[in-house]
Amino acid sequence: MNLNPFIIELLRKRGITTEEDICEFLSDKPQKTYDPFLLADMEAGVDLILSETKKNARICIYGDYDADGITSASLMLSILAHLTRKGNLSYYIPSRFEEGYGLNKEAIENIADAGCDLLITVDCGSVSYDEVEYAKSLGLKVLVTDHHNIADVMADCLLINPKRPDCTYPFRELSGCGVAFKVAQAIQKKAGMPKHILTEVLDLAAIGTVGDVMPLIDENRTIVKYGLKVINMGTRPGLKQLMEGASLKVGNITSENISFVIVPHLNASGRIKDASQAVELLTGNCSQSRLNEIVDDILQKNITRRHLQSELFDICSSLIDPEEPEDIIILEADSCYEGIAGIVAGKIKERYYRPAIILTPTGAEGELYKGTGRSVEGINLYNLLKTQENLFEKFGGHGGACGFSLKKENLEALRAGLVYETEKLAAENKEVFRRVYPVDMEADAGDMNIELAEQIDMLAPFGNKNPKPLIRIVNAEIKDVKYMGSEMQHVRFSAAGRKAERLQCTLFNRGGEYDFDHMDKVDIIGKLDCRIWQGVKRLQFLAEEIEIDEKVGQ
């Protein structure tokens, strides 16, 4: 194929340089995958599963309430249904509000009381040492499958996790559902089962991988490419019905559709009430009338989630000085619905480009605050919060997102400590609160064409570690400005460069930030897009930033 030089240069920047690697990256049928038995404890774990299913043992799959946990549980149930009677299989998804993330002893006790023999975790359990010991004391056999970092004492049981310190698996960045899929591969190989049982669950593995924002490189890229094919076949009734209810067109589903439509709907169950229904939806172990009921309920819950999210965002924004936001934004939201705090913290972070933490009351009598935080590129939130670790009851997370609980009387000390530490970071790096756009290409408006847009689409699926290329259109003149939206918040315009062709551009939600009547030459940063409208391919540039000397209001 005659690749555009920009595409070749972009691949080089992303570490894809040899002809073999380029062919694999662009291939419609990628081959990059690894032997599942390279994962520590995989052989023993599969032996345990096969042994227990032969004995007609009762097996409970214990998941998590997010899209990765939901798809992981659904995948494991689907595979095990080929080995044992469905009556031997059950699942447990904890409540976000009453139980929180991971294994808990009360749930384990209930599972044991129900006559379960084997407990298999998905997307959780690696550091649940005490809970696993409790499960064993009740006579349960335990197999943990997970993908989270292990920074504490590992559970003392069979534990399949590519991030185990002693695990030599070639790719560490599998999702929880990706690990469940590797277990499925190992079961299929060891039990001599037909390969189609793996193909049937690739859609779940793709949703879990994209939903947990895993890097879309290496083996994850293979999983998501094949998974998208299965999704677009529409063979899973519940998923197909949900996608159609959310106005997606089966056959044209992309990784972006997974991120921004499918995953939020699956997550809405756990954010508003109970995620168990989402497993029921994906496994299809119910009547059509029940399926209709679940889909309608999930669609409604997502509408509720969006309403609550918008309401809380407006309340939080009213408490922030838009001209001079604090270096770290810490907001108390006593009336906040706990399930959407993290989303709103992320949106506050994006709007003001500052680390943002939202605190909601928790505990039996509201004596604690539960904190949910999101951070910008230049500030590691985990390290920042760790400086105040002595104030927390619980604390965990990573550089971009963290959660904690603390006694209310410790809030002011936490606020003072975080402000002090953040101001130090800002003093050391004056640019830390300047939004950075990692531009992949600079070009004239006239260089943009449909062929280039189509070659860019060959780099999909897009996501973490493989974003859609960001392009800077240089020295452009803006013409034909037209405002859109109920509040004229969107703007459409054309960009004229050195060449004759004009590039149609759209800027969403930020039209009011710029004075388009007083612009000379500008640079426009955004992404090239190609859409088919009434059978005709149309090119558009989705602008994210316009670089000029002065912005209105700044």
Flag whether 17 is in a domain.
Answer: no
DSSP letters for 362-400: ESTTS-EEEEEEE--TT--HHHHHHTTGGGEEEEEE-SS
Looking at 264, 298, 332, which one is the last position of a domain? 298
Specify the number of domains making up the chain. 3
Answer for the pair 419, 327: CB distance below 8 angstroms, yes or no: yes
Q: Strand pairing of 89-92 and 59-62?
A: parallel
pLDDT along the chain (554 residues), means of 10: 90 93 95 98 98 98 95 98 96 88 94 98 95 98 94 93 96 97 98 97 98 95 98 97 97 97 95 91 92 96 94 92 94 83 94 95 84 93 94 86 92 97 94 91 93 95 96 94 91 90 91 83 94 86 84 38
What are the backbone angles phi and psi of residue 130, rounded to the nearest 5°? Answer: -65, -40
Residue 428, both tokens: 């050391």
Answer for the pair 16, 217: CB distance below 8 angstroms, yes or no: no
Flag whether 434 is in a domain.
Answer: no
Give the residue from 204, 287, 222 showing the smallest Cα distance to 27. 222
Flag whether 54 is in a domain.
Answer: yes
Please tell me whether residues 383 and 453 are part of one structural domain: no
Give the residue from 454, 470, 519, 451 showing the smallest Cα distance to 491. 519
Looking at 378, 395, 428, which one is the last position of a domain? 428
Answer for the pair 510, 489: CB distance below 8 angstroms, yes or no: yes
Please tell me whether residues 383 and 506 are part of one structural domain: no
According to DSSP, residue 466 is labeled: B
pLDDT at 549: 55
Angle at 151 between CA 147 and CA 156, to 5 degrees: 75
Please tell me whether residues 46 and 133 are part of one structural domain: yes
Looking at 403, 428, 453, which one is the last position of a domain? 428
Please tell me whether residues 323 and 469 are part of one structural domain: no
Here the CATH number for the domain that contains residue 392 is 3.10.310.30
Cβ burial of 360 (10 Å; 0-12, 13-18, 19+) is buried
Give the residue from 411, 429, 398 showing the smallest Cα distance to 366. 411
Flag whether 27 is in a domain.
Answer: no
Answer for the pair 154, 122: CB distance below 8 angstroms, yes or no: no
- The number of angstroms, rounded, from the C-alpha of 140 to the middle of its chain's C-alpha atoms is 32
According to DSSP, residue 45 is labeled: H
Please tell me whether residues 208 and 284 are part of one structural domain: yes
Flag whether 25 is in a domain.
Answer: no
* Residue 39, C-beta contacts closer than 8 angstroms, at least 6 positions apart: 160, 161, 162, 167, 169, 179, 182, 186
CB neighbourhood size of 433 (10 A): 18
Can you state the angle between helices 263-272 and 276-283, rounded to 10 degrees? 140
Please tell me whether residues 236 and 279 are part of one structural domain: yes
According to DSSP, residue 339 is labeled: G
Q: How many CA atoms lie within 13 A of 387 on its CB side?
A: 16
pTM for the full predicted model: 0.92
Residue 18, both tokens: 């040899």
Tokens 């770290």 -> residue: 328
CA distance 38 to 86: 30
Please tell me whether residues 137 and 284 are part of one structural domain: yes
What is the extent of the structural domain holding 268? 32-298
Here the CATH number for the domain that contains residue 537 is 2.40.50.460
Please tell me whether residues 243 and 117 are part of one structural domain: yes
Flag whether 15 is in a domain.
Answer: no
pLDDT at 101: 80
Flag whether 56 is in a domain.
Answer: yes
Please tell me whether residues 208 and 331 are part of one structural domain: no
Answer for the pair 299, 265: CB distance below 8 angstroms, yes or no: yes
Flag whether 26 is in a domain.
Answer: no
Please tell me whether residues 521 and 467 are part of one structural domain: yes
Give the residue from 209, 240, 236, 172 showing the smallest Cα distance to 461. 209
Give the residue from 242, 247, 248, 251 showing the smallest Cα distance to 269. 242
Please tell me whether residues 207 and 354 are part of one structural domain: no
Beta strands in 139-284 (DSSP E): 141-145, 158-160
Bridge partner list, 90: 60
Here the CATH number for the domain that contains residue 243 is 3.90.1640.30
Give the residue from 253, 218, 216, 230 showing the smallest Cα distance to 31. 218
Please tell me whether residues 279 and 383 are part of one structural domain: no
